[in-house]
Amino acid sequence: MKNTSPRILVVSGEASGDMYAAELIKEIRKHLPSTHFYGLGGEKSRLAGMEIIAEMTSLSVVGFAEVLQKLHKIKAVFNKILSVSSSLRPDAAILIDYPGFNLRLAAKLKKIGIPVIYYVSPQIWAWGAGRIKTIRRNVDMMIVLFNFEEKIYKKADVPVFFSGHPLAGMVKTDPVRKAAFIQHNRIREDLPIVTIMPGSRRKEITALLTPMLESCAILNEMLAGKIQFLLLQAPGIPFKMFQDRVYSYGLDIKILYGYNYEALETSDFALVASGTAALEAAILEVPMAIMYKLSFLTWMLLRIMLKIKYAGIVNIIADREIVKEFLQYDIKPERIAGYAYNVLSNRTAAAVIKKELRSIKESLGSQEAIPRAAEAIAELIDKKRGKNGLRE
C-alpha cells in the first residue's frame, strides 16, 4: 500500500479550544512533521497551519435557546465536516471540548471508521453518567485536563490519558512584562486595580457588562474614587460593544485588547465571566467574583439537569466555595461590590483566597500538558497507521 502523509481532523468551536488546537498542531508536527490538519477552527488554528473548512466564530454560542437560533448553520457545518472527512479519510479526529457538537460528530466518525481522540472532557461530573456510555462507545482516547476526571473515566473503563491543564504552562507571571505593561498603560501602583472580564461571546457580554459596570460604580463610591479598572476586550468582539456603556459611568476604566495575563497579574481583584478566564485568574492567584447569566429557558433547564453545586471551575475543583459566585438572579451589583470591597480592604482575607488559588494551580499537573497530549496523540496515530501498513 502506498505511503501517505498523516491527515488529522481538528474540531474546536470556541476561543479556548482554538488556542489549544493551535498549540497541539505545533507539538504534533514535532512527531509527525508532514501532517495535514484540517477542520473547524479560528485564527489561531489557521496561523498554526490548519486548513479551515469552517469558521468557528459563527457557531460560538452558549445555552439551549441560543443553539436553536443557529441550528441551521450548525447542521450545515456538521454535515460539511462529515462529508469532507468521509472523502479524506483522516488517520484520526481530534475533537476539542464543544460537547453538544463534538459528541454527535464522534458517533458519526466512529461509524465510518475514523479513530476519535477527545481533548478537554465534556463535564460528565456535571451532567451525570449518561454521557459516559456515549463516550465509551465512540471515543478511542479521552485526554483529560483534571486529575479527578481521570479517576472517573478509569472507573467507567474508558481509555483515558491525564495530560494536565495547558493553562498551567501557558499562564505565568512575568515581572518584566508586568513592569512594561504598567508603564505603557500609565497604571498607578498605589491604587487598587480591578479587572473586568465579561466574556468572549456577544451574548455573555450583553448579559454581564452592565451589572459588572454597575458593581464597579458602587465600588468606586465605596473607595472614594481611589481605584482603577481594566476592561478586557476579547478577540472578535468590537470596541463599540463597550464604548458607550463604559464611558457613561464616568469611571477610570481602560479598555485593553491582547493584555489578559498582564492585566490579571497586575490586578488585586477581578470580575470574571465563568469559564476559562476564571481559571486563568486562579493560576495568577487573583481573588475574583465569578458571574454568569443565561436566558430564562436555558437557566431553568440547567437547574433541573445539572448535578453540581458550583458553576466556576475553581470551586468545582476544590469542591467548596473558594471565590464567590453570582449567578442569574443573584447578580446584584450591591452584593458584588460589597464582596469586592471586603477582599480589597482586608489583606488577610485576600491572602487566604490567594493561598487557596495556589492549591488549585498546583492540582493542574505538569506545565508540559500540551507536549504530553501531543505525544500521546502521535503514538496512537502511529500505532493505527502501522497496523494499516502506512508510515510517514
At 382, list the grid cell: 502511529
SS3 of 40, please? Answer: strand
Summarised one tens digit per residue, pLDDT across range 17-29 is 999 999 999 999 9
- The winner for highest mean pLDDT among 13-17, 74-78, 352-356, 386-390 is 352-356
Q: Which domains does the chain have, with CATH numbers?
A: 7-165+366-387 (3.40.50.2000), 173-362 (3.40.50.2000)
Q: What is the pLDDT of residue 356?
A: 96
Q: What is the pLDDT of residue 104?
A: 95
Residue 169, pLDDT above cutoff 70: yes
At 76, list the grid cell: 450545515
The pLDDT-based confidence of 215 (bands split at 50, 70, 90) is very high
Summarised one tens digit per residue, pLDDT across range 27-68 is 999 999 999 999 999 999 999 999 999 987 656 555 445 555
Mean pLDDT of 174-202: 93
SS3 of 290, please? Answer: strand
At 350, list the grid cell: 485576600
Summarised one tens digit per residue, pLDDT across range 99-114 is 989 999 999 999 999 9
Sort strands 288-292 and 269-273 into parallel, antiparallel or unpaired: parallel
Dihedral of CA 38/41/44/47: which sign?
positive
> Which residue from 155, 115, 145 is spatially nearest to 372, judged by alpha carbons?
145
pTM: 0.77
Summarised one tens digit per residue, pLDDT across range 125-156 is 666 566 898 999 999 999 999 988 999 999 99
Compute the distance between CA of residue 280 and CA of residue 353 in angstroms, rounded to an integer: 15
Compute the distance between CA of residue 104 and CA of residue 124 in angstroms, rounded to an integer: 15
Return mean pLDDT, the chain.
89
DSSP state of 249: T
SS3 of 73, please? Answer: helix
